[in-house]
Structure 1
């Protein structure tokens, strides 16, 4: 492995650094974007139970806001529920925008690496081929070692760039889809709370919360 890295030339350094970043972001996002952590399944029922029992104190709202991304959105809506439906919806949307921004954290660098890693590999290919043709111009085709070194550098960097880019692209698409799914679920639960508080919908999780 070390020999391959050396044979690939100096462009192997940014490719290796990119692979480390991809692995770090993938682990961090996988841990952060767990559905049970972002959208706790019993949280909305618990909030409704607090509301029905008049137990929604400032301490509970603070606890709700810091508990999860969904809790942040629900807490924003509850804090402004007394000002009317439209104000409550606006506060929910503002909180949701901030939450979505946090959920999408580090996805842009992941997409950037997926795009530039093949280009780094291609650059290594070009540099390797330049070395090959330079060696042919200077020494002719008789020095097979020099020719092989340039060709191997070209192929190694190309393979390394693709090896980093393919997983980065897969992770990027996977986490984008995960964020979209979580956002839809949070929006659905926020709408349920808004409608329930303003009498437009029967809150169906009430029995489960009280049970």
Structure 2
């Protein structure tokens, strides 16, 4: 079984370098273009199951890429982006460079990051992402040939880092552009990364 795991297209907050988290920011025109280019590249691929984060930027990406072909997209709450609570909207560049910024550790020592009220830690996010694989993806082996997933940047990088056998705290070592595709192979209950970070625009 192959899993086509896609980060959503660009949003205005991506372009401005703002932390989005679970704030529901829609795709911008460039994000829609990225999704259309990805749809064209995958036009020959058929999917047996499809999942999306509940956030509209992921759901719209899935809708554009699938173009009405294949199964109905099932929304999985646990595919949502990392929840930064009241830290949403902060300037990512400032947070990366200012040790006094409450998000500084997220970028440099994420295992030590302390979430805002209502937010989640790296460990909580990693457990949630493991759960998606274990409860929703792996059980499809044998009944599905290809599965489509539309998710988010941090979620995808954490997932890939775990599959590489590394601690989740190393996920910042990976970069992930908007609408980047990763392909996973599931065989005998094991998951192997076939490709990651591929873009088609």
Using structure 1 for the length normalisation, give the TM-score: 0.27
Per residue, is there more strand in 1 or in 2?
2
Q: Give the TM-score normalised by the residue count of structure 2.
A: 0.28
